[in-house]
Amino acid sequence: MELTTVWFALIAVLWVGYFCLEGFDFGVGMLLPVLSRNETERRVMINTIGPVWDGNEVWVLVAGGATFAAFPEWYATLFSGFYLPLLLILVALIVRGLSFEYRHKREADAWKGRWDLAIIWGSFVPAVLWGVAFANIVAGVPIDADKEFTGTLLTLLNPYGLLGGLVTLTLFATHGAMFVALKTDGDIRHRARDLSVRIGAVAALLAVVFLAWTQVKTGTAASAVVFVVAALSLVGALFAAMRGREGWAFVGTFLTIGLAVIGLFVALFPDVMPSTTDPAFSLTTTNAAATAYTLKVMTWVAVVFTPIVLGYQAWTYWVFRKRIAVHHIPSPVLADAAK
C-alpha cells in the first residue's frame, strides 16, 4: 500500500476520533439549558466533560497538522476556500474553552449566565459548521486549474451542505445526551436518556436522507455497506437507551458517528477534494501529497507517538469513569455574605 493511501486513512482515523469524542462534548454543551434545571445540575453536566474536553480537542489539531504535512495542496485549498467557516469554528472553540475556565471564577448569576451562553453557542456553531464543511468536501466544490477554490460562502451553504450541518448537529446532541445519561445519576440521568431517544429519532431520519444522498452523489459499494451499518448502530443505540442500557446506547452513537465519517472518507477516496468545475482539477491523494521522504518520516513519528497518546487518553477516561450526581457538588461558599 502506498504511503499516500496510508496517510489518507490515518487522517480519516483522526477525524473519527475527533467527532466521536468531541461530538459528545458539543452535545453536552448544547443541551446545557435543556437538561439542567438549576445551577447544581449545570455544574454536574459541565463536570461530566470537565476532565476530557481539552484532550478531545487535540484530535482536530493533529488532524490539521497531519493534513498540512502529508497533503499540503489539500490543506492550502481547504483552509483558503473554507476560511470563514473554519475561522468561526476556531473562534467558537476559543470562547468555549474560556467559558470552562472562567465560569467558576465568580458566584454572580449574571456572570455564570453569560459564560453558559458561551458554552452553548461555542458548542452549537462547530456542531453545525463541521457538518457543512465535510458535506462540501465530499460533494466537491469549484476548484480551478491552479487548485484554488473559486466559490464563495454561499457556495458552501447549499442544500446538501446545510443538511450535513443538521445531521452533525442532531447526532452530536444525541451523543451528548447519551453521555450525560451514562455519566450522571438521579433525575438528570433519566431526563437525558429520554431526550436522547427523541433527538435520536430526528437524527436517524436526517442521517438516512443525507447518507442516501451521499451514496447517490459519490458513493461506492464499500461506502454503502458502511452507511448501512452506521444506520443500524444508531437504531440499536436508541433501543438500548429505551431499555435503560446507557453504556450500550453510548457505544451505539459512538459507532454511528465513527462509521459515518469512515463512510464519507471511503466515498471521497481517491479524491481529497473533488472539483465541480472540472474533474481534472480535483485534488487527489497523489497530486496533493507531500514528498515520499516526508511521508516516510511522518510514518515513523506516528508509529512511535500514536500509542503513547492513545494510552494516555484511555487512562484519563478510566480515571474519571464514575458517575456524577447532584450530591457530589458542594454548595458554593458565599464569602462576605453580609456585603
Q: What pLDDT sits at residue 219?
A: 84
Residues 172-193 have pLDDT tens digits of: 999 999 999 999 998 999 999 9
Q: What is the band of 1 on the pLDDT scale with cuts at 50, 70, 90?
A: low
Q: Are 51 and 27 in contact (CB under 8 A)?
A: no
What percent of the chain is modeled with pLDDT above 90?
A: 67
Residues 135-145 have pLDDT tens digits of: 999 999 999 99
- Return all residues near 152 (Cβ < 8 A) that are at least 6 apart: none
What is the DSSP code string of 151-192? --HHHHSSHHHHHHHHHHHHHHHHHHHHHHHHHB-SHHHHHH
Q: What is the band of 333 on the pLDDT scale with cuts at 50, 70, 90?
A: low
Q: What pLDDT sits at residue 332?
A: 62
Q: Inform me whether the pLDDT recorded for 337 exceeds 80.
A: no
Q: How does the average pLDDT of the chain come out, rounded?
A: 90
Phi, psi at residue 158, to the nearest 5°? -90, 165
**Residue 168: C-alpha distances to residues 22, 36, 147, 263 (Å):** 12, 22, 28, 14
Task: Dig out the grid coordinates for 261 from the structure.
Answer: 465519517
Q: Are 122 and 96 in contact (CB under 8 A)?
A: yes
DSSP SS3 for 50: coil
DSSP SS3 for 177: helix
What is the distance of C-alpha 124 from the center of its chain?
Answer: 11
Among 241-255, 266-280, 309-323, whose mean pLDDT is lowest? 309-323
Q: Inform me whether the pLDDT recorded for 335 exceeds 50.
A: no
Residues 101-157 have pLDDT tens digits of: 898 888 888 888 899 999 999 999 999 999 999 999 999 999 999 889 998 888 899
Residues 58-105 have pLDDT tens digits of: 899 899 999 999 999 999 999 888 999 999 999 999 999 999 989 888
Q: Inform me whether the pLDDT recorded for 9 exceeds 90.
A: yes
Residue indicated by cell numbers 434545571: 37
For the chain, how far is it from start to end, CA to CA, in angstroms?
71
Rounded-to-integer distance, Cα 18 and Cα 16, Å: 5
Q: Are 48 and 180 in contact (CB under 8 A)?
A: yes
**Torsion-angle region of 151 (φ positive above 0: left; ψ -120 to 50: alpha; else: beta):** beta
The CA-based angle 75-76-80, given to 5 degrees, is: 115
Name the CA dihedral angle for 168, 171, 173, 178, rounded to a multiple of 10 degrees: -150
